[in-house]
């Protein structure tokens, strides 16, 4: 058998060392184990899993006051992280409602991680605006109902950058980088920015195009002005605190920060960008599907939907909620872009087998 | 022994201590600063601490951390001591003894992350096979116990080696049976070693991040996991306050234990 | 001693620690004690590591599921043959991790020796306070300590301002994420692990040997290398192990202080088990790390004993 790497003297010293001054002569061993119980599912509990800083804290509290169900919100910073949790860390058996980005939904259905919705329990679904009512990523809203929608763009500090030319060149063109900047730590979103800069579809399955986009991202990462990768919220916080002057973020996060500090601004790059929809789903093993359906129905209530959008500064897919949304938000082209701008945006789709190429290139980009 | 050290040794020691303490002191200072970002002093405030203590998720994480450490230490101490006794007091064949030694040393020489990753795989297999082992408090406690057993066993073994055979042989000569031997002779002698092992295990559990991070579930966040997740989004004053509190708790714990041991010796 | 008892065991009846008994009864008693912890370690330590070896040879489906085929694809990818053609990325990361671990260990030891001597030179009464001063960071959680460095190296901290004033960095930029920040963070994290074992050896130092060397007009360096170092060898070995192994698998420090710009093996593994959802590749990298760690330990131990014998 292999010899242990440390001999007996060393072992004795290791422990003498580690126990250092813990030379107790009388302290008794710890008492009997406290509640090392298995995970318990309380009937009155709802576990929600969504992007960070995405819900007004009052909304779960109101739901709790109304129904008696205790709501717990867990957060994630990227779609891949969320999928990993559902797929491997048993999240599919522990969360009741998960907010998922549109492109990931077909994959989750295929993996059997989310279950069909019982529309009878969600009467408020009729309020969903027509363009979100029967989406390509989830025909007939069998597995999801929309939560918010928005865009991907650039957030910057007007006091350090002045006027920024609204394009992805500020990130990918070394001569146009205005200062310390942050890339977004979300695989498909980062590729979307690179592919759009190169004038390609962000749903490409062509390995050469993906590889070229990867190299572009790598070059940006290697730039001395790049600070690193952060989630949308992390990037927003870096710009807000002054550690960076530019970040790739989602519109709502940027606008929420800009509302508190008018030195911050958000632009939609003119080469085109991503338009995304986040939707609420119920995982396959949800412990409390009753409360889950009730919660989804609650969010789709027009007043609650408006309150949500007023808080997180994203656009609501709820047609009936629109009339309760703040008028200045309603008129803000960063939240509700006009038709000509929307036409240049592309939705993200599930790319099936090609996901693996994206994954490998992403890992290579992050590791070099 | 010469008590006069060369100048450079003292300076170097001071530098080392500075390296260890300046960051934490900086955090402590900033945690009472009324400014949200940066170091500019804007007045003394305990507002961040107040906000912290009103935050339900922080309190829950603190509770989880303590429960995890206490529960795992308790079980690991018992199992580790039993393992040490079983290993060193009985004439196992060479190969078995070697295998046991190897197993006990494994957690010591394996980087945390490898062990954590292996556990993720194992729990997923066990979950598929049995339907239990959802990621949560249980899996975390199991993971902690596993590496703690090894450390406790090593500590107790070294203590057993120090005790030697003479006392036991004398007890046997006086017609002690195994139960009496264990209860009245061996365990009392072993107590300092067991206690030391328990304290080591407790420290390792409190200090751990990687293994907890990989085996945690949605309702079993611990303080380090909470801080890590929050830090990834951005540094906030509440986290400064939380870090300072954790640091103070550690200081109290260590000094308290020191006090106990010096008092006990007198 | 054990061999004699083994022979006695085979003969059936023996005297073990003063007790006349049969080997059978002994074995049963020993098994009763060691069975539960042994089984526990088997299920939760040996089995997971074996599973990891098995998974390293598996494949990955397009949505991140594990596909149970037997393939060496992951190891080939580790060696550089990826979808973008051959590149030394992962080998570089492994190499970088070894280097960082080595530098961290050496720097920690260089700082640990003077500190250990300093503490040993304190009067006995106050010595426990100084030891407590080292134990406190040792017990403080790693995330908390690393986070403290993030604060100290952030763009508004006095340190960053100083660096900008001196011209080392652009004004307004933080000192992390960067390679230097990772090194500083690593040394700061592992220093207590190096000091404590070293101190236990230093405390037991036989100063008469040192004085004898000095009496013989040996140079300071020789005094250290030949009178002090060999005596502290056991503590040094333990200190080496306690710093090198965690440093090899470090993940928190490079993640928080290095960002995506300075990736080490720990980050790579964490990524594969997290957002990349590529367990087989992660398992392969873990095995690579394990092999490197054991090799490194072996070499350091050889060097250590060789140096001691000189």
C contact chains, 3+ CB pairs < 8 A: A, B
Question: What does the pLDDT average to over A68-81?
Answer: 90
Question: What does the pLDDT average to over B43-67?
Answer: 89
- Summarised one tens digit per residue, pLDDT across range A163-216 is 888 999 999 999 999 989 999 999 999 999 999 999 999 999 999 999 999 999
Number of domains in chain C: 2
Whether pLDDT at A364 is above 70? yes
Select, from the ranges A315-329, B186-200, B243-257, C293-307, the one with the highest average predicted confidence (pLDDT). Answer: A315-329
> C273 and B22: CB-CB below 8 Å?
no
Ramachandran assignment for A74, one of left (phi > 0), alpha (psi -120 to 50 degrees), beta (any other): beta
ipTM computed for the complex = 0.86
Provide the percentage of residues in chain C whose pLDDT is more than 90.
Answer: 32
Say whether both C24 and C146 belong to one domain.
no
> C62 and A356: CB-CB below 8 Å?
yes
- Summarised one tens digit per residue, pLDDT across range B57-83 is 899 999 999 999 999 999 999 999 999
Residue A47 phi, psi dihedral angles, 5° rounding: -105, 120
Question: Chain A partners of C272 at a C-beta cutoff of 8 Å?
Answer: 363
Identify the pLDDT of residue A92: 81
Say whether both C6 and C99 belong to one domain.
no
Whether pLDDT at C310 is above 50? no
> pLDDT band at A5, cuts 50/70/90?
very low
In a domain, C131, yes or no: yes
In a domain, C209, yes or no: yes
Say whether both C96 and C175 belong to one domain.
yes
Identify the pLDDT of residue A25: 31
Give which of B15, B33, B101, B113 to mutate to test C binding, by max C Cβ within 10 Å: B113
In a domain, C11, yes or no: yes
Identify the pLDDT of residue A10: 45
> C6 and B91: CB-CB below 8 Å?
yes
Whether pLDDT at A12 is above 80? no
- Summarised one tens digit per residue, pLDDT across range A125-176 is 999 999 899 899 999 999 999 999 999 999 999 998 888 889 999 999 999 9
Identify the pLDDT of residue A3: 35
Do β-strands A181-184 and A226-230 pair in parallel, antiparallel, or remain unpaired?
parallel
Say whether both C157 and C270 belong to one domain.
yes
Residue C53, Cβ neighbours under 10 Å: how many?
A: 15
Say whether both C165 and C31 belong to one domain.
no
Say whether both C47 and C86 belong to one domain.
no
Question: Chain A partners of C231 at a C-beta cutoff of 8 Å?
Answer: none
CATH number at residue C292: 1.10.3720.10
Give which of A23, A76, A83, A84 to mutate to test C binding, by max C Cβ within 10 Å: A84
Identify the pLDDT of residue B93: 83
Give which of A5, A6, A17 to mutate to test C binding, by max C Cβ within 10 Å: A17
Question: What does the pLDDT average to over A103-119?
Answer: 93
Identify the pLDDT of residue B71: 96
> A21 and C200: CB-CB below 8 Å?
no
Q: How many CA atoms lie within 13 A of C83 on its CB side?
A: 19
Q: Which CATH superfamily is domain B44-265 in?
A: MetI-like (1.10.3720.10)
Say whether both C209 and C277 belong to one domain.
yes
Say whether both C182 and C256 belong to one domain.
yes
> pLDDT band at C68, cuts 50/70/90?
confident
Whether pLDDT at C216 is above 50? yes
> A111 and C63: CB-CB below 8 Å?
yes
The distance between the two most distant Cα atoms of chain B, rounded to a whole number of Å, is 75
Interface contact A6, partner C, CB < 8 A: yes
Domain containing residue C270? 82-309
Average pLDDT score over chain C: 84
Do β-strands A181-184 and A246-250 pair in parallel, antiparallel, or remain unpaired?
parallel
Question: What does the pLDDT average to over A102-118?
Answer: 93
Question: What does the pLDDT average to over B34-51?
Answer: 82
- Summarised one tens digit per residue, pLDDT across range B108-130 is 889 989 999 999 999 988 888 88
Nearest CA of chain C to the CA of B122: how many Å?
A: 5
Select, from the ranges A223-227, A325-329, A364-368, B165-169, the one with the highest average predicted confidence (pLDDT). Answer: A325-329
Identify the pLDDT of residue C83: 64
Question: What does the pLDDT average to over A343-356?
Answer: 89
> A25 and B194: CB-CB below 8 Å?
no
> A24 and B78: CB-CB below 8 Å?
no
- Summarised one tens digit per residue, pLDDT across range A254-264 is 999 999 999 99
Select, from the ranges A77-91, B35-49, B86-100, C88-102, the one with the highest average predicted confidence (pLDDT). Answer: C88-102
Question: What does the pLDDT average to over A58-85?
Answer: 91
Whether pLDDT at C31 is above 90? no
Question: Chain C partners of A207 at a C-beta cutoff of 8 Å?
Answer: 83
In a domain, C290, yes or no: yes
> pLDDT band at A30, cuts 50/70/90?
very low
Question: What does the pLDDT average to over B214-237?
Answer: 86
Identify the pLDDT of residue A184: 94
> Pick from B220, B224, B229: which is nearest to B134 by CA?
B220
Whether pLDDT at A305 is above 90? yes
Q: What is the DSSP letter of C60?
A: E
Of A6, A32, A241, the CB nearest to B37: A241
Question: What does the pLDDT average to over B47-53?
Answer: 87
Say whether both C171 and C36 belong to one domain.
no
Question: What does the pLDDT average to over B245-259?
Answer: 87
Name which residue leads in pLDDT, A43 or A310: A310
Domains belonging to chain A, first-starting first, are 45-148+277-336 (3.40.190.10), 150-275+349-367 (3.40.190.10)
Say whether both C157 and C280 belong to one domain.
yes
Identify the pLDDT of residue C6: 63
Say whether both C21 and C138 belong to one domain.
no
């Amino acid at each position: 058998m292999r010899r242990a790497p440390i001999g007996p003297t060393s072992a004795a010293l290791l422990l003498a060392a580690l126990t250092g001054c813990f030379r107790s002569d009388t302290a008794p061993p710890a008492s009997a184990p406290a509640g090392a119980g298995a995970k318990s599912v309380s009937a009155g509990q709802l576990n929600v899993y969504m992007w960070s800083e995405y819900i007004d804290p009052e909304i779960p509290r109101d739901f709790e006051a109304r129904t008696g169900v205790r709501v717990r919100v867990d957060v994630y910073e990227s779609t891949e992280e969320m999928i990993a949790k559902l797929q491997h860390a048993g999240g599919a058996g522990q969360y009741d409602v998960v907010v998922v980005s549109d492109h990931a939904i077909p994959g989750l259905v295929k993996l059997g991680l989310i279950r069909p919705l019982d529309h009878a329990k969600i009467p408020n679904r009729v309020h969903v605006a027509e363009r979100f009512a029967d989406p390509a990523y989830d025909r007939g809203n069998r597995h999801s109902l929309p939560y918010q929608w928005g865009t991907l763009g650039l957030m910057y500090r007007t006091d350090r950058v002045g006027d920024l030319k609204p394009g992805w060149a500020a990130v990918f063109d070394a001569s146009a980088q205005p200062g310390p900047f942050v890339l977004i730590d979300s695989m498909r979103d980062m590729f979307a920015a690179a592919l759009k800069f190169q004038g390609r579809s962000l749903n490409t399955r062509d390995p050469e195009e993906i590889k070229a986009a990867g190299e572009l991202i790598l070059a940006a990462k290697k730039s001395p002005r790049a600070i690193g990768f952060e989630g949308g919220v992390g990037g927003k916080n870096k710009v807000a605190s002054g550690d960076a002057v530019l970040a790739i973020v989602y519109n709502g996060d940027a606008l929420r920060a800009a509302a508190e500090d008018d030195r911050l601004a958000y632009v939609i790059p003119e080469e085109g960008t991503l338009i995304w929809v986040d939707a609420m789903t119920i995982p396959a093993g949800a412990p409390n599907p009753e409360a889950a359906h009730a919660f989804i129905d609650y969010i789709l209530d027009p007043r609650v939907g408006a309150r949500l959008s007023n808080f997180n500064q994203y656009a609501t897919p709820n047609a009936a909620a629109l009339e309760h949304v703040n008028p200045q938000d309603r008129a803000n082209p960063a939240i509700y872009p006009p038709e000509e701008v929307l036409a240049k945006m592309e939705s993200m789709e599930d790319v099936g087998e090609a996901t693996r190429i994206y994954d490998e290139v992403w890992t290579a980009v992050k590791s070099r | 022994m010469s008590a006069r050290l060369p100048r450079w040794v003292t300076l170097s020691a001071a530098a080392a201590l500075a390296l260890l303490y300046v960051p934490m002191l900086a955090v402590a200072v900033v945690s009472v600063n009324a400014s949200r970002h940066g170091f500019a002093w804007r007045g003394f405030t305990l507002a961040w601490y107040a906000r912290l203590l009103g935050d339900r998720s922080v309190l829950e994480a603190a509770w989880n951390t303590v429960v995890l450490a206490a529960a795992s230490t308790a079980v690991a101490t018992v199992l580790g001591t039993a393992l040490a006794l079983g290993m060193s007091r009985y004439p196992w064949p060479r190969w078995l003894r070697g295998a046991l030694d190897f197993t006990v040393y494994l957690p010591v020489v394996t980087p945390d992350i490898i062990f954590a990753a292996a556990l993720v795989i194992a729990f997923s297999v066990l979950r598929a096979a049995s339907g239990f082992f959802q990621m949560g408090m249980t899996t975390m406690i199991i993971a902690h116990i596993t590496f703690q057993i090894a450390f406790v066993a090593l500590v107790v073994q070294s203590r057993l080696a120090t005790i030697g055979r003479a006392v036991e042989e004398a007890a046997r000569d006086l017609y002690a049976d195994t139960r009496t031997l264990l209860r009245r002779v061996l365990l009392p002698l072993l107590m300092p070693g067991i206690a030391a092992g328990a304290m080591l295990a407790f420290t390792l559990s409190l200090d751990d991040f990687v293994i907890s991070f990989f085996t945690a579930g949605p309702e079993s966040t611990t303080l380090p996991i909470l801080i890590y997740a929050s830090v990834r989004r951005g540094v906030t004053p509440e986290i400064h306050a939380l870090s300072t509190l954790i640091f103070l708790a550690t200081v109290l714990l260590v000094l308290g234990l020191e006090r106990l041991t010096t008092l006990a010796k007198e | 001693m054990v061999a004699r008892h083994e022979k006695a065991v085979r003969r059936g009846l023996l005297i073990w620690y003063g007790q006349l008994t049969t080997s059978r009864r002994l074995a049963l008693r020993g098994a009763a004690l060691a069975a539960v912890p042994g089984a526990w370690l088997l299920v939760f330590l040996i089995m997971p590591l074996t599973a990891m070896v098995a998974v390293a040879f598996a494949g990955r489906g397009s949505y991140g599921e594990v596909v149970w085929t037997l393939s060496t694809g992951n190891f080939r990818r580790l060696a550089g043959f990826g979808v973008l053609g051959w590149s030394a990325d992962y080998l570089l990361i492994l190499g970088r991790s070894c280097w960082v671990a080595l530098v961290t260990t050496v720097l920690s030891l260089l700082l640990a020796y003077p500190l250990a001597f300093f503490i040993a030179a304190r009067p006995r009464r106050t010595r426990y306070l100084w030891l407590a001063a080292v134990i406190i960071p040792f017990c403080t959680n790693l995330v908390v300590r690393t986070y403290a460095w993030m604060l100290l190296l952030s763009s508004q901290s006095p340190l960053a301002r100083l660096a900008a004033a001196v011209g080392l960095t652009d004004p307004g930029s933080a000192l992390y994420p960067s390679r230097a920040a990772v090194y500083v963070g690593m040394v700061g994290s592992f220093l207590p692990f190096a000091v404590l074992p070293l101190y236990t050896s230093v405390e037991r130092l036989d100063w008469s040997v040192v004085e004898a060397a000095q009496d013989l007009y040996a140079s300071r360096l020789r005094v250290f290398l030949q009178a002090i170092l060999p005596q502290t060898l056991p503590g040094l070995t333990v200190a080496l192990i306690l710093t090198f192994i965690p440093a090899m698998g470090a993940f928190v420090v490079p993640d928080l202080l290095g960002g995506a710009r300075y990736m080490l093996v720990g980050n790579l593994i964490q990524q594969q088990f997290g957002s990349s959802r590529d367990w087989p590749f992660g398992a392969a990298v873990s095995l690579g790390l394990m092999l490197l760690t054991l090799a490194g330990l072996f070499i350091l131990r050889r060097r250590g004993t060789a140096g001691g014998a000189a």
